[in-house]
């Protein structure tokens, strides 16, 4: 019996397809008809069509009449898509994905901080301070969910305060990575105090218009996060 529904259902099916892909149950070159997708995931044609549109938009599949839906090579997928990042964080490639995210963040977030120290408005500065203080308040309590939201707010504001639309566009990507780190138990039970202090220091460096300090301290934040994830992952093996 098929399940009917709206957006929530198609997101659920998309997540199931993602896990089939990252775990090798679906492979590049596989071709499935719409009917096979309906049967495999127990949903209606309407839901399948919505899902296929998303798969096409992120480069995962192509759909042709009288051919079906073809899975494209992984190298052609949109690597910065939060959907794909979410899939990979839930699969065996988790640590590799987080490492790649950290490498990209080390390249862009310090630059965003450097720019923000010259361009941030009063609202940006207030938001950065509030987020850092929220991390300071919730981190020592081990309230990781609330801490995560403050962390996302901080890094989203940092990217948007750069005044660069391309850097700001990376905010969903960074948010997905931060969420994945918490969801998959790659955060310490109590966040590192030094990392929190660095967030506070970045907020103040931006407020004071000190771009080099903001840049250097942001690089420390991202580097510490990667080192901590690798340490926790090693301990879990």
What's the pLDDT at 180? 86
User: What pLDDT sits at residue 137?
Assistant: 98
Q: What pLDDT shows up at residue 237?
A: 64
> For tokens 């192509």, what's the residue?
62
In tens, the pLDDT along 16-69 reads 999 999 999 999 999 999 999 999 999 999 999 999 999 999 999 999 988 999
114-140 residue pLDDT tens:
999 999 999 999 999 999 999 999 999
pLDDT for position 211: 98
Q: What is the DSSP string of 197-212?
A: HHHHHHHHHHHTT-HH
Q: What is the pLDDT of residues 168-197, one digit of tens each?
A: 999 998 998 899 888 888 888 999 999 999
Calpha distance 19→40 (Å, rounded): 14
Give the strand order in the sheet containing 68-71.
Answer: 31-32, 68-71, 61-64
Predicted confidence (pLDDT) at residue 5 exceeds the cutoff of 80? no
Q: Domain extents for the chain?
A: 7-76, 82-236
d(CA 83, CA 14): 9
Query: What does the alpha-carbon distance between residue 178 and residue 183 come to, in Å, rounded to a whole number?
Result: 9
Q: Region 217-236: what's the mean pLDDT?
A: 86
Q: Which of 3-12, 91-100, 118-127 has the highest mean pLDDT?
A: 118-127
Instruction: Convert 88-129 into a string of H (helix), E (strand) and C (coil).
Output: HHCCCCHHHHHHHHHHHHHHHHHHHHHHHHHHCCHHHHHHHH
Domain 7-76 sits in CATH 2.60.120.260: no
3-state secondary structure of 151: helix
Pairing relationship of beta strands 68-71 and 31-32 according to DSSP bridges: antiparallel
The DSSP element (H or E) to which 36 belongs, if any, is: helix 34-41
> What's the confidence (pLDDT) of residue 130?
98
Alpha carbons within 13 A on the beta-carbon side of 114: 11
For domain 82-236, the CATH architecture is Up-down Bundle (1.20)
6 band by pLDDT with thresholds 50, 70 and 90: very low
Whether 173 and 100 have beta carbons less than 8 Å apart is answered as: no
Cβ contact 169:80 at 8 Å: no
Q: How far apart are CA 17 and CA 60, in angstroms?
A: 11
The arithmetic mean of pLDDT across residues 5-10, rounded, is 61
């Amino acid at each position: 019996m098929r399940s009917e529904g709206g957006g929530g259902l198609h997101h659920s099916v998309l997540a199931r397809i993602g896990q089939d892909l990252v775990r090798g149950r679906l492979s590049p070159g596989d071709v499935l008809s719409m009917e096979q997708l309906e049967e495999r995931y127990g949903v209606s044609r309407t839901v399948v069509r919505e899902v296929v549109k998303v798969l096409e938009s992120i480069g995962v599949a192509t759909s042709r009449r009288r051919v079906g839906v073809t899975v494209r090579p992984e190298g052609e997928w949109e690597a910065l898509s939060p959907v794909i990042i979410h899939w990979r964080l839930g699969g065996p490639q988790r640590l590799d994905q987080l490492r790649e995210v950290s490498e990209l963040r080390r390249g862009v977030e310090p630059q965003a901080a450097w720019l923000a120290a010259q361009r941030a408005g009063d609202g940006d500065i207030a938001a950065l301070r509030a987020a850092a203080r929220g991390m300071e308040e919730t981190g020592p309590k081990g309230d990781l969910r609330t801490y995560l939201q403050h962390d996302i707010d901080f890094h989203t504001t940092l990217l948007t305060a750069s005044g660069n639309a391309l850097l700001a566009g990376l905010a969903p990507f960074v948010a997905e990575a931060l969420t994945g780190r918490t969801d998959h138990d790659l955060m310490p039970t109590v966040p590192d105090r030094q990392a929190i202090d660095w967030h506070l220091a970045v907020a103040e460096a931006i407020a004071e218009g000190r771009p080099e300090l903001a840049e250097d301290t942001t690089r420390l934040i991202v580097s510490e996060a990667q080192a901590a994830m690798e340490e926790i992952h090693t301990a879990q093996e």
